[in-house]
Structure 1
Amino acid sequence: MGSATGPQRQFPSGGDYAEALQHTHLCFRHPELKGARPELTKLGLPRAISGAFASVFSLTSATSGQRYAVKCFTRHVPDQERRYQAISSRLARLDPAELSQPWALGFEYLTDAISVGQERYPVLKMEWCEAVTLSSWLDDNHADRFAVGRLADRFEALTRDLAENQIAHGDLQHGNLLVASDDTLRLVDYDGMYVPALAGLEGTERGHRNYQSPLRGNDDFGDNLDRFSAWVIFLSLKAIAADPALWNRLHEPKGEFLLLTEEDFKSPSGSTGLQTLLSHPDRMVSSLADQLRSLAFQPLDVLPPLAGTVPGQRTATTGATRTAASGAGTAPAPAAGGLPGWMAGHVAQSAAPPSTGPVVTSPEGFRVRTSLDVVTAVLWPLVLAVTAFIVVAGLSAPLIGLGVPVAAAVVFTVFARSRRVERAQSRAALAQLTNELAGFEDPVKAAEKLRKDRAKFDAAEAKRIAAHPRAQDKLTAEYHAELKEAEKRKVRKQRDLDKKIDGLAEDLRRALGKALADKQSAYVRDQLSRRLIAQSPPHGIGPTLAARLAAAGIRTAADFKGYRSVQNTNYNSTGAVLVLNNGRVVDVHGIGEAKAIALDVWRKSLVASAEARQPTALSASERQSIEQGIDRRRSQLTIQRKAVESETDASRARARKELENGQERLSRENRRAGDRARQQRQEFSQRAVELQQNRALHGTLSASLEAAKLRRRGLSYASYLRFLYLGH
């Protein structure tokens, strides 16, 4: 039988192959495989590595001693032979000298290679590689940051090899990436591989769910298949190289993932793993995590390839890391406009508050004398001279009168001081600084308000993030409860129908018995109806009594079923009445107990004679008619049973649809909430920057106001008098 297997062909199970491989000299024809020694389990059975489409066995050739991995298919794969021939041809044309490492393993697709039972099936014979899976290698080497980083670069080089040759593996994941003894990578499992010769076909698988984009569908099949999974693996390796503790923190022992799972891609805002990487202090890790988060909801055909995208980013990141390391302990340099470097490009810079008008400076003292100042300066010596002359000359004058010139001089000096321009400038400067300072919120109060708002937001956000998985769990629980209830209904209905179906045999037996009894009863009645009392009367029944019996409706042995003795009280004797078939009794004149007994004996003898000749079985047509009726009932019940299964499938589908709709709704709400949270965080960052700027400006204005007040004290009355006579 050729390998052109139709879509309906059934393949053996892994256990069937293992049983056949106990006798490789019988099941194989290929010279390298015939008589080969399989690797055995502790029970002495061929050891199988089972997957979704095949089971892989390790066989050592008895002729060459070469070890091979033999893949035995357990499920139908469309165009299987064509696919492997195209893949084999493309890989054979690769120039090993142009590859970053010997990742491609040679294989041979063998049609009709193995015999299982009465049929022969194809197998894939591949080179055996002494290597360990990527996850196993990381279990042992995750603490070696240099080795993990080097492996990340080799993985990137491998993806570049694939991209340059327009090849996509289709299922890049920890189990299909092997690390050889020299720490170079090998690719295995080419079932879903894409090469240009397969363009136009559909994919055979969707890849491991913990490495694939949520948007990858069954019909995706092209050279872009590996892009998302490449970013996932590269991020994981680079993150572990930067922080080996992440392996034990985010990876689970025997977990089918590295650091991130399918749920992390579907719900990034509610993902603990992805949030850990996004907030990681290493900028390379957080940048790669942010890149992966943005890729999770983009179509495959627009995803950037890992090769050609990362190198520049990685170089820049490495340079930044070295700079940070060399300047450890120093604060990040602020960007233009006063923003910290880490905020540049993320927070809009706020402009300084616009000035309300031209800046008025407060003078430090009085400057040039005016004519009024000269008059004031001359006035005081004259007043003092006049006052002194009056006192010395002994001119009598009240004390109050002597103080009038001095008071007038004081008032005139106050007037002259008030007319100085420095006083007006000082008042204007103080008013402007006071107004500008009043326009700023108290930095201490603003900082406390920002702290409270941020704490309130963080608490609400933590509550929201914690509520999202609970809501998902609730949806899942409701889904499983509905499935359980649907299964209960199905089992209950099927059990009732099965009980009816199982009872059909008894129903058939009873129906056949009843039909035979009815047939026999009808035969006996027919025979009795043929025996007329008038023609063959029993002993003691003459024509007269036969006529009386006929008048009472008893003409044949079939017209009555017995008699009943009655007591005649008038004559103190025993009489008899005949019992008709309907249960009614008739009293026939001349029929006493003796004649009634004779009639009954006569009838019973006829019944016995008829029963001896009655049919003992139904005819074939009669039996077939009854059996057909039972078959119709069985068919109806079977249809009803299938309908129950269809009804249950419909209930499951409805429950699944409700679950998916609910999950989509939760994801949509979570994404929107995540977007609002990011916007709110940006607003907090903006407020923090503005607060920092306002605090500095507030301090400057406060200092300026205090300086203005101090300079104003330099314009006091005494300072003015000193200025009048000393000039400063």
Structure 2
Amino acid sequence: MGAPIGPHRQFPSGAAYAEALQHTRLCFRHPELRAAKPELTNLGLPRAISGAFASVFSLTSVVSGQRYAVKCFTRYIPDQAVRYQAISAQLGGLDPRGLSQPWKLGFEYIPDAIRVGSDLFPVLKMDWVEAVTLSTWLDDHHGDSQAVDRLATRFVELATDLTTHGIAHGDLQHGNLLVAADGTFRLVDYDGMYVPALAGHGGTERGHRNYQSPARDNDAFGADLDRFSTWVIFLALKAVAADPALWNRLHEPSGEFLLLTEEDFKSPSTSSGLLTLLSHPDHTVSGLADHVRSLSYQPLDALPALAPAVPAQAGAASAAGSTVRSTSARSAATGALPGWMSDHLTTSAAAVPPAGITGSAAFRGRRPADVITAVLLSLALAACVLLTLAHALLPLGSGLVPVAFAGLMSLFARRRRPELKASRTALADLRSRLRQLDDPEKAAEKLRKERAGFDTSEANRKVGLPRERQKLTDRSNQERKSVEETKAKTLREIDRKIMGLDGDLQTALAKALSAQQAAFIRDYMSHRLIAQSKPHGIGVTLTERLAAAGIRTAADFTGYRVIQNSPYNSTGAQLVLRGGRRVNVHGIGEAKAKALDMWRLAVRDSAVKAQPTRLSAAEQRSIRHDFTLRRAALADQRKVAERVAENEHAQVRQRLEAGQARLAREDAAANTRAQQKRQEFSRRAVLLQQNGSRYEALRGSLDEAQRLGHGLTYGRYLRFLYTGR
């Protein structure tokens, strides 16, 4: 078996796989792949189609003659085997008769399939299909509008199949959409596919950047993964069908996109490609382009599926939508301006400030107060002239009093005009609306900082998660090591005792024999009486004296000790009793003590010759039985030690699995919260864009209202009093 697949396992490179595939008889164990013939390059090496996660090789089986696409993985994919089992079960359960076209390919996930170096690695064996990628097909057929339009319909049917069964491919793009000779699609690369059985798992990839929503991240995983990319591809097909020249105009040779790229989705307002499609005279093209532009701001879960959302009359729907947007924009732009002022505002979209406004402010419809003011002002001027001529009779400056009075009257009358009231009301209303909206730049900067902080926090969390997992693994490894060390120490001690049993048995047998022989000798010697044996030089008198001292048999003493008699300058002897006590026996000198001891030694030699030389069978069985019991007890101790270690290992595994499950739950919960937070950011970005358009529209309306209000000057009012204009 190969090494377990894990996040720390190093997978071979595409070049390493290509080298191994030069000897398929050695590197493969699968019967159909063993000795299979790979497609070769001009240099005679296996041809590889390399991607981000794997290299794909074409091999022809020598057993069946069938051609296969064999995917060799170059990077770790979480839960790879589990994912492919779920995908295989889902796709295998689809009835081909219920599908719009034979888009699904047969595949088999084979663990430990290919040997590279000393390790085994999994592969994915897929049916080979004779087809070309979508971009290659468009290179050859973009001039055939009807064929492209039919392919667009086929693509909608494919998207409908996936949506109906709750499946998302995860990386819909030109390289994974193959077009067969009959004009139907084949779908390849199922690494990131979502099926209902994988609900709750995380994503493994983000998909091709030129086909994905800016709101999608690596953790996104669900049935809605394909919604943005299906609209992008459908827009490209319908646009090329409507105007084949768009292919050469917007597509680059060998470009990793169809008509639009990642930058077009991130910055639609500055996208030249999107602007080309938005301004296209075909309403289907411009309508779909506008729809894709709006989708680029929305969270994934808010995107509509392709099939149900494709309008029957795309052009009419687009035109109707444009009318509604224009009306809404006009309403937002004009706000609560009075009718006389609204006539001067443009009907531009809400997102475009009403720049280009024409017209001028004017007073309309003189009232009695205006006529009276005009008459009083004229009379005041006449009075001023007359009083000036008569200045000699009146105080200086008295002629200005009527004029000042009339001027105050005209100012009051002007202030009461409905045009000024409407201007003030409109300005107050627009300023109030602007105060209710956040400044777009400040709000955008705040959102950007929040998102940057969130991204940093998520990045730190994702970096910290492997560290936490590694801590769990390290702690578990340390615990297992400690358990093994304790077990090994215990077993070594037990084994040492078991190995020593044989020696201990021989020692016990020898000790038992030695004890039996010593008892025999003591018994033999205790039955040899001095009185009966008559040792040399020992008569009846000495025998009686010896008996009085406690020495009757050869077993009662163990020898003698020579002593020096100082008063007589001679030597004597003391006999040593069995307990070690020394006694003096009258008449026993050194010579007689020596003779008596020689007799004792002679008796002992006779006893040694007569002693038993082996234990009886019963005695041996008794001793051996004891050692058999001791051996069995040690064997039981060994089993107990192994069971204890096994139980401790199980507890370590349980703690590790519990810790991993806890981290997985925490990660899943954090991913859910992160997804919700990203969706919140996306919604806020959409709202911010909408509020920004409203803000700019209101700002433009306010500027226009101020311009018109500033046009209602006192001089214009005076002209209005006398001319009516």
Pick the TM interval, shorter chain. Answer: 0.5 to 0.7
Aligned in 2, Cα 1:358/1:709: closer, same or farther, shift over 3 Å? closer
Q: What is the rounded CA distance, in whole Å, between the counterparts of 2:127 and 2:589 in structure 1? A: 117
Mapped pair 1:340 → 2:288 = no
Mapped pair 1:359 → 2:314 = no
- Identify the residue that residue 447 of structure 2 maps to in structure 1: 450
Q: What is the rounded CA distance, in whole Å, between the counterparts of 2:367 and 2:290 in structure 1? A: 51
Q: What is the rounded CA distance, in whole Å, between the counterparts of 1:162 and 1:544 in structure 2? A: 133
The answer to which of 522-531 and 717-726 deviates more is: 717-726
1:405 to 390, 402, 405: 402
For residues 383-416 of structure 1, the C-alpha deviation after alignment (integer angstroms, 9 at most, x for no partner) is 1212222333464222222222222222222222
The answer to which of 528-537 and 667-676 deviates more is: 528-537
Mapped pair 1:515 → 2:512 = yes
2:492 to 472, 483, 495: 495
Q: What is the rounded CA distance, in whole Å, between the counterparts of 2:173 and 2:516 in structure 1? A: 90
Mapped pair 1:626 → 2:620 = no
1:427-506 → structure 2 map (5 Å cutoff): 427-506=424-503
Unpaired runs of 5+ residues, structure 2, are: 2-24, 36-60, 75-86, 100-105, 114-122, 132-161, 179-188, 241-246, 248-258, 261-272, 276-287, 305-327, 342-360
2:206 to 265, 276, 290: 276
Q: What is the rounded CA distance, in whole Å, between the counterparts of 2:662 and 2:706 in structure 1? A: 63
The alpha carbon displacement at 1:604 in A equals 0.5
Contact 2:335 2:698 in 1 (8 A): no
Q: What is the rounded CA distance, in whole Å, between the counterparts of 1:388 and 1:590 in structure 2? A: 189
- Identify the residue that residue 681 of structure 2 maps to in structure 1: 684
Contact 1:347 1:686 in 2 (8 A): no
Contact 2:525 2:554 in 1 (8 A): yes
Contact 2:297 2:682 in 1 (8 A): no
2:700 maps to a residue whose letter is: A
1:221-232 → structure 2 map (5 Å cutoff): none
The alpha carbon displacement at 1:129 in A equals 2.5
Contact 1:131 1:179 in 2 (8 A): no
Contact 2:513 2:615 in 1 (8 A): yes
Contact 1:49 1:57 in 2 (8 A): yes
1:549 to 521, 541, 546: 546
Q: What is the rounded CA distance, in whole Å, between the counterparts of 1:465 and 1:439 in structure 2? A: 39
Q: TM-score, normalised by structure 2?
A: 0.61
The alpha carbon displacement at 1:542 in A equals 3.1
Contact 1:553 1:559 in 2 (8 A): yes
Mapped pair 1:538 → 2:535 = yes
Contact 1:433 1:701 in 2 (8 A): yes
Mapped pair 1:561 → 2:495 = no
1:135 to 70, 88, 109: 70
2:526 to 517, 524, 529: 529
Aligned in 2, Cα 1:709/1:137: closer, same or farther, shift over 3 Å? closer
The alpha carbon displacement at 1:499 in A equals 1.7
Contact 1:132 1:178 in 2 (8 A): no
2:336 maps to a residue whose letter is: V
Contact 2:575 2:584 in 1 (8 A): yes
For residues 227-284 of structure 1, the C-alpha deviation after alignment (integer angstroms, 9 at most, x for no partner) is 9xx999x95997794299xxxxxxxxxxxx995799x979954x6xx1233x654469
Contact 2:383 2:399 in 1 (8 A): no
Q: What is the rounded CA distance, in whole Å, between the counterparts of 2:708 and 2:171 in structure 1? A: 66
Unpaired runs of 5+ residues, structure 1, are: 1-12, 14-45, 59-104, 106-126, 140-151, 185-226, 245-256, 296-308
Aligned in 2, Cα 1:392/1:261: closer, same or farther, shift over 3 Å? closer
1:641 maps to a residue whose letter is: R
2:656 to 650, 654, 659: 659
Contact 1:387 1:402 in 2 (8 A): yes
Contact 1:566 1:574 in 2 (8 A): yes
The alpha carbon displacement at 1:477 in A equals 2.5
1:420 maps to a residue whose letter is: R
Contact 2:109 2:125 in 1 (8 A): no
1:330 maps to a residue whose letter is: L
2:237 to 301, 322, 332: 322
For residues 402-447 of structure 1, the C-alpha deviation after alignment (integer angstroms, 9 at most, x for no partner) is 2222222222222222222332222222111111111111100111
2:577 to 571, 576, 580: 580
Aligned in 2, Cα 1:265/1:508: closer, same or farther, shift over 3 Å? farther
SS at match of 1:503: helix
Mapped pair 1:694 → 2:694 = no
Q: What is the rounded CA distance, in whole Å, between the counterparts of 1:163 and 1:390 in structure 2? A: 105
Mapped pair 1:242 → 2:176 = yes
For residues 151-208 of structure 1, the C-alpha deviation after alignment (integer angstroms, 9 at most, x for no partner) is x99x9689757999xxxx9975485976789979xxxxxxxxxxxxxxxxxxxxxxxx
Mapped pair 1:710 → 2:707 = yes
For residues 324-371 of structure 1, the C-alpha deviation after alignment (integer angstroms, 9 at most, x for no partner) is 7766422664559x943673772499x99x99x993527543222222
Contact 2:373 2:410 in 1 (8 A): yes
Aligned in 2, Cα 1:158/1:690: closer, same or farther, shift over 3 Å? closer
1:275 maps to a residue whose letter is: E
The answer to which of 650-659 and 128-137 deviates more is: 128-137
The answer to which of 315-324 and 532-541 deviates more is: 315-324
SS at match of 2:70: helix
Aligned in 2, Cα 1:48/1:378: closer, same or farther, shift over 3 Å? closer
The alpha carbon displacement at 1:592 in A equals 2.4
Aligned in 2, Cα 1:236/1:640: closer, same or farther, shift over 3 Å? farther
Contact 1:430 1:708 in 2 (8 A): yes
Q: What is the rounded CA distance, in whole Å, between the counterparts of 1:341 and 1:280 in structure 2? A: 13
Q: What is the rounded CA distance, in whole Å, between the counterparts of 1:443 and 1:408 in structure 2? A: 49
SS at match of 2:531: coil
Q: What RMSD in Å do the two structures reach over aligned CA positions?
A: 4.9
2:635 maps to a residue whose letter is: T
Contact 2:211 2:229 in 1 (8 A): no
SS at match of 1:534: helix
For residues 31-73 of structure 1, the C-alpha deviation after alignment (integer angstroms, 9 at most, x for no partner) is xxxxxxxxxxxxxxx989768xx99999xxxxxxxxxxxxxxx
The alpha carbon displacement at 1:527 in A equals 0.2
Aligned in 2, Cα 1:595/1:517: closer, same or farther, shift over 3 Å? same
The alpha carbon displacement at 1:684 in A equals 0.5
The alpha carbon displacement at 1:534 in A equals 2.9
For residues 95-117 of structure 1, the C-alpha deviation after alignment (integer angstroms, 9 at most, x for no partner) is xxxxxxxxxx9xxxxxxxxxxxx
Contact 2:170 2:226 in 1 (8 A): no
Aligned in 2, Cα 1:177/1:563: closer, same or farther, shift over 3 Å? same
Contact 1:516 1:618 in 2 (8 A): yes
Contact 1:131 1:178 in 2 (8 A): no
Aligned in 2, Cα 1:618/1:57: closer, same or farther, shift over 3 Å? farther
Contact 2:476 2:656 in 1 (8 A): yes
- Identify the residue that residue 666 of structure 2 maps to in structure 1: 669
Contact 1:479 1:656 in 2 (8 A): yes
2:387 to 381, 385, 390: 390
2:670 maps to a residue whose letter is: A
The alpha carbon displacement at 1:488 in A equals 2.2
1:467 maps to a residue whose letter is: G
2:639 maps to a residue whose letter is: K
Q: What is the rounded CA distance, in whole Å, between the counterparts of 1:312 and 1:385 in structure 2? A: 81
2:567 to 570, 573, 581: 570
Higher relative contact order (CA 8 A, sep 6+): 2
Aligned in 2, Cα 1:157/1:320: closer, same or farther, shift over 3 Å? farther
The alpha carbon displacement at 1:646 in A equals 1.5
1:288-307 → structure 2 map (5 Å cutoff): 293-294=221-222
1:167-182 → structure 2 map (5 Å cutoff): 172-173=109-110
1:391 maps to a residue whose letter is: T
1:423 to 407, 420, 424: 420
Q: What is the rounded CA distance, in whole Å, between the counterparts of 1:508 and 1:713 in structure 2? A: 123
- Identify the residue that residue 299 of structure 1 maps to in structure 2: none
